[in-house]
Structure 1
Amino acid sequence: MFFASDNTGPAHPKVMEALARANEGYAMPYGSDTLMDEVRARIRDIFEAPDAAVYLVATGTAANSIALATLSQPWQTIFCTPEAHIQQDECNAPEFYSGGAKLTLVPSDHAKMTPASLRSAIAVEESRGVHGPQRGPVSITNVTERGTVYSVAELNALCDVAKQFDLPAHLDGARFANALVSLNCTPAEMTWKAGIDVVSFGGTKNGCMGVEAVIFFDPKHAWEFELRRKRGAHLFSKHRYLSAQMLAYLTDDLWLDLARRSNAANARLTRGLKQIEGVSFLHEPDANISFAGWSRAGHHRLHDAGAAYYVWDDNLAGDDPDEVLTARMVADWSMTEDNIDRFVDLVRG
């Protein structure tokens, strides 16, 4: 019953087998390995982007932060929601890697910005001449940190606003596969066809040991990203171990299969919890993350039984057993139906 995060689950056996194979013999370093050549080709094919520049790093923080630094200047501001991954979970890394670009928080509804809220936030900037921050990239998190998913139409509308101001658009895709299978669209439709300039294509939360791809659809950004990745200490010498993971992840659509599993696990969890009187959801779950509330007594039953998840209100130690506390639950690809059903039964009491 481990719903703390999808990055707490195991790497898929096919990924581990690929790492073992990659460990045999010798390979050129720094991304010059033959496995990386195949990764580039497959990602370009999957995204229908034959000219895309494709790179690998080991963490989502590096993928997002170095990509945004490549698209921004230190005197600019990056537009994102208050719930965005780069705002809540990156410890100011985007500001650090960009040399000082700030974040402007765009009002959101269920963790999603709207074209109107984005346009208003952009319009406010560049109103004070040299004294204020200049407009920079728009960053969109999909799946959002609240488990909601931007539709293709919503992505198109946000990118249209960005283009009206001549601003690039970045997609934080730590859970890219989960969003994609939820939308039942193509990777191209969710990225460059919608107006996205760069995407971080996540693997770590979806069955890899630790690898993320950064994909620039305009290769003019390639050399600067390479320099920033090296300068930022994220160019792996033994790069083949990143390549091997990503290649296994892409082979036979493993990445899609694992995302379908985690989304299905969360859907089963959601159906079970919705049948319990007194359980309420903060947001309608679209992928593999849920926020739901139930009694403190129910939370104690779960914790006593060894369940792992986050209590969002962080006041489990209170006295009122009936007080409703919110849980954040994230399903990974390896979650079993038995563990899901046991979790629901303990909430029910």
Structure 2
Amino acid sequence: MNFASDNIMGASEPVLRALVEANAGPLPAYGDDPLTQEIEARLGAIFEREVAVFLCATGTGANALALSALVPPWGLCVCHREAHVIDDECGAPEFFMHAAKLAGLPGTGAKLAPETLESWLAGLSSSVKQMPPKALSLSQLTECGTAYGRDEIAALSAIAHRNGMKVHMDGARFANALESLGCTPAQMTWQAGIDVLTFGATKNGCLAAEAIIFFNPQDAKAMPWLRKRGGHTLSKGRLLAAQFKGYLDDDHWRDNARHANAMAARLADGLTGQGLRLAWQRAGNEVFVVMKQAQAEALRGQGCAFHPWTATNLAPDDALGPDEGIYRLVTSFATQEAMVDRFLTLVDRTM
């Protein structure tokens, strides 16, 4: 019963089949193949806009490259203080931005509030001694499993744009957030003010595939060189495109996200039904449950895998007890009902 992450699962069958089909015969290298061109056009259709698309293999690479196109070495990228880009990527965004900095702000549930962003920006000096803010990065889903609603994205984007900043969305779990909010890809991105999206696929059924999507192609002029210099232009680029073909065909990407979200809902409902509480409202395929530490250890002793989580993003009136902890459980496209139900049975026995 492994709920450690959605990264623990391999690729889905449609993605693997597409890879095998694309493997046969010669095709031009470095993404100059017809399959890559097809995927670029399909992503434009999905987002209902002319876009510039750059495929790469890792989320860290995609985030770092996207931000490097937006932020000069003397600039700042603003994000939540525990966003993935600042807390989990080993300084890669700052490395690719050539000494530009990430500035982390607080927020309940790992979400930035518009008033927090506006107040912080208003307090910045315009002196040459101060690095100017050049981008805002929003995680969707956040590191606490919460989602920014369309109005929240629009409000934050408007503040950023008024301050001369571009807006990046780290969409590692983009599909899960999309299904949770019940909107279109366009509504959750460029129509709400997002300039650049890291469109995640690896966590949702691909082997290793992400797409950097610029909603204003003019912003992407440097990207071919940035991606190549950064070591993320694959010579066999068609194999990235093939994964996206299997992922996008027949709305497989959305089906995978719907299933993962449904399994998380089943898990969350079962846990709260046993009297446990959630640290933050579930908005996708991550469940953050508050448990006694001894209970968590007992579950681990019976072969259950999950991670402890920080309590720094709890609401002020929702403090933990002295013997409590927050634990993250993540479902995936491959999680089965029987696995969820077996875990809930073990939880019940440890109550």
TM-score higher than 0.5: yes
2:118 and 2:293 map into 1 onto residues whose CA distance is 41
Tell me the equivalent position of 2:186: 188
SS at match of 2:7: coil
2:191 and 2:199 map into 1 onto residues whose CA distance is 16
- Unmatched runs of 5 consecutive residues or more in structure 2: 312-321
Please say if 1:324 is aligned against 2:331: no
Residue in structure 1 matching 2:265, options 260, 264, 267: 267
Residue type of the alignment partner of 1:348: D
1:234 and 1:10 map into 2 onto residues whose CA distance is 21
Tell me the equivalent position of 2:111: 112
Tell me the equivalent position of 2:337: 337
Tell me the equivalent position of 2:30: 30
Deviations along 1:121-176, one digit per CA (max 9) or x if unpaired, are: 22233x15111111110100010010000000111111111111121100110000
2:295 and 2:149 map into 1 onto residues whose CA distance is 34
Cα deviation, residue 113, structure 1: 0.6
Tell me the equivalent position of 1:319: none
Cα deviation, residue 65, structure 1: 0.7
Please say if 1:85 is aligned against 2:84: yes
CA contact (8 A) 1:301 1:347 kept: no
2:126 and 2:34 map into 1 onto residues whose CA distance is 51
Tell me the equivalent position of 2:305: 308
Residue type of the alignment partner of 1:3: F
Please say if 1:101 is aligned against 2:75: no
2:55 and 2:309 map into 1 onto residues whose CA distance is 33
1:47 and 1:325 map into 2 onto residues whose CA distance is 40
Give the CA RMSD over aligned residues: 1.4
SS at match of 1:199: strand
Deviations along 1:102-134, one digit per CA (max 9) or x if unpaired, are: 111122121111111011122233x15111111
Cα deviation, residue 177, structure 1: 0.3
Tell me the equivalent position of 1:346: 346
Distance 1:313 1:199, change over 3 A: closer
Q: How do residues 45-56 of structure 1 correspond to structure 2 at under 5 angstroms? A: 45-49=45-49, 51-56=50-55
Cα deviation, residue 313, structure 1: 6.7
Deviations along 1:196-228, one digit per CA (max 9) or x if unpaired, are: 100000000000000000000111123301111
CA contact (8 A) 2:69 2:220 kept: no
SS at match of 1:253: helix
Tell me the equivalent position of 1:73: 72
SS at match of 2:6: coil
CA contact (8 A) 1:83 1:146 kept: no
CA contact (8 A) 1:294 1:347 kept: no
Please say if 1:5 is aligned against 2:5: yes
Residue type of the alignment partner of 2:114: P
Q: Percent identity between the aligned chains?
A: 44
What is the number of residues matched between the two proteins? 339
1:53 and 1:200 map into 2 onto residues whose CA distance is 12
Tell me the equivalent position of 1:233: 231
Distance 1:207 1:119, change over 3 A: same
Residue type of the alignment partner of 2:230: G
- Unmatched runs of 5 consecutive residues or more in structure 1: 315-321
CA contact (8 A) 1:140 1:170 kept: yes
SS at match of 1:311: strand
Cα deviation, residue 87, structure 1: 1.1
Deviations along 1:25-76, one digit per CA (max 9) or x if unpaired, are: 1111111111111101110000001x21011000000111110010011111
Return 112-121 or 323-332, whichever deviates more.
323-332
CA contact (8 A) 2:126 2:132 kept: no
SS at match of 1:7: helix
The normalised TM-score by structure 1 is 0.94
CA contact (8 A) 2:147 2:283 kept: yes
The normalised TM-score by structure 2 is 0.94
2:106 and 2:242 map into 1 onto residues whose CA distance is 40
Tell me the equivalent position of 1:317: none
1:234 and 1:40 map into 2 onto residues whose CA distance is 17
CA contact (8 A) 1:198 1:217 kept: yes
Residue in structure 1 matching 2:287, options 281, 285, 290: 290
